[in-house]
Structure 1
Amino acid sequence: MLEKEEKTKVSLKKEDKKQRLLDAAYHLFVEKGFRDTTIQNIVDYAGVAKGTFYLYFKDRYDIQEHVIAAQAYQLFQHAIEAIAIQCPDRFEDRVIMAVDHIIDELMENRDLLHLIRKNLSAGLFEPKLVRLLEAQNSEFIKVFEQDCKASNIPISNPQLMLFMIIELAGSSCYNCILHGQPMDIMEYKPYLYKAIKAILHMEEL
């Protein structure tokens, strides 16, 4: 019993150190930018030894991928919660509500948008990151797949369709929000949502 408790304590300490590193990396990437943040900066901010970093991550690029996946997951989770509260009747309206919620969060947090850049789909579909956050990632995908089956819309590959929608929204909204190109995000939204509806119904053609 005592041995089991000790193992649990050790496991919790490891997770705490890993989370501190992730939190530190996120803060520094937002504050200084990825290019100007060193591993030493991250471990100093997290208050851990440099060797501890390499127990969890290979290099700066590795921890950056973890941070992006974790932040993207939070966006998707918030979107699921928003849908659960308002619960539109139509499948396509629920999809658009999820995308709209994510866009609004990114509009309010441009630092996060700078960090994620055009990699919003990484948290759901990048193979390595999917393994890292398997339970969390599968939740959003599972909700989408269940809604696909419940709708009368013919969709042969729900995951591919979800990928297309997220890639379209993530890459195009990045430029609209940060640079106003090709237009302001609020002007762009109606065009985006028409495109998403077309994607959802493309197998009916």
Structure 2
Amino acid sequence: MLEKEEKTKVSLKKEDKKQRLLDAAYHLFVEKGFRDTTIQNIVDYAGVAKGTFYLYFKDRYDIQEHVIAAQAYQLFQHAIEAIAIQCPDRFEDRVIMAVDHIIDELMENRDLLHLIRKNLSAGLFEPKLVRLLETQNSEFIKVFEQDCKASNIPISNPQLMLFMIIELAGSSCYNCILHGQPMDIMEYKPYLYKAIKAILHMEEL
């Protein structure tokens, strides 16, 4: 019993160090930028030895991928929670609500948008990043697939359709939010949502 408790404590301590490194990396990537952040900066901020870093990550690029995956997961998870609270009747309205919620979070946190850049879909579909999250992001995909089946909209490949929607929203909103190109994000939203509806119904044509 005592041996099991000790193993649990060690495991929790390891997870705590890993999380501190992830939190430190996110803070520094946002504050200094990835290029100007060193591994030494990260371990100093996290308060761990440099050797500890290499127990969990290969290099800066590896921890950057972990950070992006974790932050993307939070965005998609918050979108699921928002849908569960308001629960619009129509499938297409639920999809647009999810996208709208993600865009609003990125508008409020432009530093996060700078970090993720145009790679929003990577947290859902990039195999390496999904493995880093131990497939947590698959929950968002499952919700989408279940909604597809429950709707009367003919969709032969739900994951491909979701990928198209997330790619469209992520890449175009990056430019609208950060650079106002080709227009302000609030002006752009109606065009984006019209395009998403067209994607959802494209197999009806």
Normalising by the residue count of structure 2, what TM-score does the alignment of the two structures yield?
0.99
CA–CA distance in 1 between the matches of 2:61 and 2:78? 26
- Residue-pair matches, total: 205
CA–CA distance in 1 between the matches of 2:179 and 2:62? 28
CA–CA distance in 2 between the matches of 1:64 and 1:135? 18
CA–CA distance in 2 between the matches of 1:126 and 1:17? 25
**C-alpha offsets along residues 5-25 of structure 1, whole Å, 9 cap, x if unaligned?**
111111101100000000000
Q: CA deviation at 1:139?
A: 0.9
Match of 1:70 in 2: 70
Identical-pair percentage = 100
Deviates more, 1:163-172 or 1:124-133: 124-133
Normalising by the residue count of structure 1, what TM-score does the alignment of the two structures yield?
0.99
Q: CA deviation at 1:129?
A: 1.2
Q: CA deviation at 1:202?
A: 0.9
CA–CA distance in 2 between the matches of 1:132 and 1:109? 23
Aligned pairs for 1:1-205 within 5 A: 1-205=1-205
**C-alpha offsets along residues 27-46 of structure 1, whole Å, 9 cap, x if unaligned?**
00000000000000000000
Q: CA deviation at 1:122?
A: 1.0
CA–CA distance in 2 between the matches of 1:202 and 1:4? 55
CA–CA distance in 1 between the matches of 2:32 and 2:131? 29
Q: CA deviation at 1:134?
A: 3.2
Deviates more, 1:182-191 or 1:130-139: 130-139
CA–CA distance in 1 between the matches of 2:177 and 2:202? 27
Give the ranges of 4+ consecutive aligned residues of structure 1 lying more than 2 Å apart after TM superposition: none
Q: CA deviation at 1:135?
A: 4.1
**C-alpha offsets along residues 51-90 of structure 1, whole Å, 9 cap, x if unaligned?**
1111111110110010011001101011011101110000
The DSSP-based 3-state class of the residue aligned with 1:170 is helix
**C-alpha offsets along residues 90-128 of structure 1, whole Å, 9 cap, x if unaligned?**
000000000000000100111111111101111111101
CA–CA distance in 2 between the matches of 1:158 and 1:168? 15
Q: Which runs of 5+ in 2 are unaligned?
A: none
Q: CA deviation at 1:151?
A: 0.3
**C-alpha offsets along residues 140-183 of structure 1, whole Å, 9 cap, x if unaligned?**
11100100000001111111111110010000000000000000
